[in-house]
Amino acid sequence: MESWPPGGSGPAEAGRRLRGLHGADLAASASLLSGAGAEAGCSAPAVAAVLPAGGSGERMGVPTPKQFCPILERPLISYTLQALERVSWIKDIVVAVTGENMEAMKYIIQRYQHKGISLVESGVTRHRSIFNGLKALAEDQPNCRLSKPEVVIIHDAVRPFVEEDVLFKVVTAAKEHGAAGAIRPLVSTVISPSVDGCLDHSLERVRHRASEMPQAFLFDVIYEAYQQCSDYDLEFGTECLHLALKYCHIKAKLIEGSPDLWKVTYKRDLYAAESIIKERISQQICVVMDTKEDEEHVGHRLKEMLKNELNHVKVTSGRDLQQIILEQCYNFVCVNVMTSDFEETQKLLNMLEESNLSILYPVVVISVQFLDYESVPFGQKMGNLMQIREFAKEVKKTNILLYGLLVYYPQDEQKLQESLRQGATIIAALIKERNSGLIGQLLVA
């Protein structure tokens, strides 16, 4: 059985999971859930999640249902699954998809190595899809391989940025109150039009909230509500918390959620989601050198320049590459001062390929060479460096984006400073943009 509070597995995983959880919240919730014994790692409530993913995404206005739209070449739903499956105390995840998309969903699970996912057929409305997911978890179903959880999380497949802390809060609150859901302040005021298209009345914005996801329920409460509810509710309802109130008299606890919980609905939301993901995977850059670092070293100076250029980003040295890969750093700058080939870059690429790091996100590798006209003739240098195109094509197959950067290395200190600054700007742009159209290019600073 999983230990509670969450985060009881391997150190790297645990570190990742616990980010964003606050000690006081954890302690309070742990004791709330289980009485004494929080410090000893007491038993967790059995928690499962149901993800409705059977919609057609009409408002998105593209033929592909939005949950399958690619973001950095990976379907949106895979990000949501990733966010839920990394939470160790969620035992089962049930995804409701249309029969038509069942095979595509199976492929996504296999391709991105998702674990603990069960599929059920969705219904013609969101409520019906959720009900199908709940049925799969209920005890009274024949041939059911899933076990009935104490608490069930309901979360839209198209809300990829759900964090463990909000899941933890809704589950904890559901255990106490029977139901709980994330809310956000309203962005716009809600008004009611009359039949003639004129304003009937408007709501006082500060007194209302937008209901978001995730929501969590005692399983028996929400299952009972779905069993009791009318066809009208199943057809036109949009709020699970409302069903718990209407049919089980449960007043849901409302939990303040983060702005990233919004539901991907329109095309612009895909662009926003892509930007958030790019931003998140660009927070750490590992600089690998082909020589020992010292302060005067041109590679070291480039690294310092990079730190100045990206002052919110963690720039580390690649001394322990295995560890850095394990910590999920997605950006590598391979600085070649002593050599003018790709030996070091190739070693790094091999390690990355073996690690499978790039299964979920594109990994950027920038191979930096210095151009000193006085020691190596330009033509000879270029001849070597053009091989980068072939390497780049090869590693692109495993989702590694390889770029080349040639930094001019003049004797004049001021000019050198300028080309290092330019190099750092190019590196920052390549990492931020992750443009697969530019792979294999040799950019010059």
Ligand X SMILES: O=C(CO)[C@H](O)[C@H](O)COP(=O)(O)O
- Nearest approach in angstroms of CB 148 to ligand X is 24
Residue 158 engages ligand CTP in binding (rule: CB under 6 A): yes
For residue 333, give the nearest of 289, 278, 277 by alpha carbon. 289
Residue 78 engages ligand CTP in binding (rule: CB under 6 A): no
- Closer residue to ligand CTP, CB minimum distance, 76 or 171: 76
Residue 369 engages ligand CTP in binding (rule: CB under 6 A): no
Q: Is 72 left (phi over 0), alpha (psi -120 to 50) or beta?
A: left
- Closer residue to ligand X, CB minimum distance, 109 or 213: 213
Neighbours of 191 (CB within 10 A): 10
Sole binder of ligand CTP in the list 74, 114, 126, 303 (CB under 6 A): 126
- For residue 139, which amino acid is it? E
Q: Are 214 and 154 within 8 A, CB to CB? A: yes
Residue 52 engages ligand CTP in binding (rule: CB under 6 A): yes
- Nearest approach in angstroms of CB 261 to ligand X is 10
Q: Which does 239 bind (CB under 5 to 8 A by kind): ligand CTP, ligand X, none?
A: ligand X
- Can you tell me the distance from the alpha carbon of 243 to that of 394, in angstroms, rounded to the nearest whole number? 53
Query: In DSSP terms, which residues pair with 444 in a beta bridge?
Result: 406
CA distances from 312 to 60, 162, 360, 383, 428 (A): 34, 23, 23, 37, 12
Q: Which stretch binds ligand CTP (CB under 6 A): 124-132, 277-285, 381-389, 420-428?
A: 124-132
For 379, phi and psi rounded to 5 degrees? -60, -45
Tell how strand 151-154 and strand 209-218 pair up: antiparallel
- Closer residue to ligand X, CB minimum distance, 205 or 393: 205
Q: Which does 211 bind (CB under 5 to 8 A by kind): ligand X, ligand CTP, none?
A: ligand X
Residue 55 engages ligand CTP in binding (rule: CB under 6 A): yes
Residue 56 engages ligand X in binding (rule: CB under 6 A): no
Q: Are 242 and 217 within 8 A, CB to CB? A: no
Residues of span 240-299 touching ligand X by CB under 6 A? 263
For the chain, state the CA radius of gyration.
Answer: 26
- For residue 106, which amino acid is it? K
Residues of span 254-293 touching ligand CTP by CB under 6 A? 263, 265
Residue 209 engages ligand X in binding (rule: CB under 6 A): no
Q: Are 222 and 154 within 8 A, CB to CB? A: yes
Sole binder of ligand X in the list 44, 122, 156, 173 (CB under 6 A): 156
Tell me the number of residues near ligand CTP by CB under 6 A.
23
- Nearest approach in angstroms of CB 133 to ligand X is 14
- Nearest approach in angstroms of CB 7 to ligand X is 27
Residues of span 349-388 touching ligand X by CB under 6 A? none
Q: Which stretch binds ligand CTP (CB under 6 A): 3-11, 48-56, 254-262, 334-342?
A: 48-56
Residue 179 engages ligand X in binding (rule: CB under 6 A): no
Element spanning 316, H or E:
strand 314-317
What does the CA dihedral 23, 26, 29, 34 come to, rounded to 10 degrees? -120
Most distant CA atoms of the chain, gap in Å: 83
Residues of span 89-108 touching ligand CTP by CB under 6 A? 96
Half-sphere exposure of 240 (CA within 13 A, CB side): 37
CB-nearest residue to ligand CTP: 55
Q: Are 404 and 388 within 8 A, CB to CB? A: yes
Residue 126 engages ligand X in binding (rule: CB under 6 A): yes
Q: Point out which residues bind ligand X (CB under 6 A).
A: 126, 156, 211-213, 238-239, 263
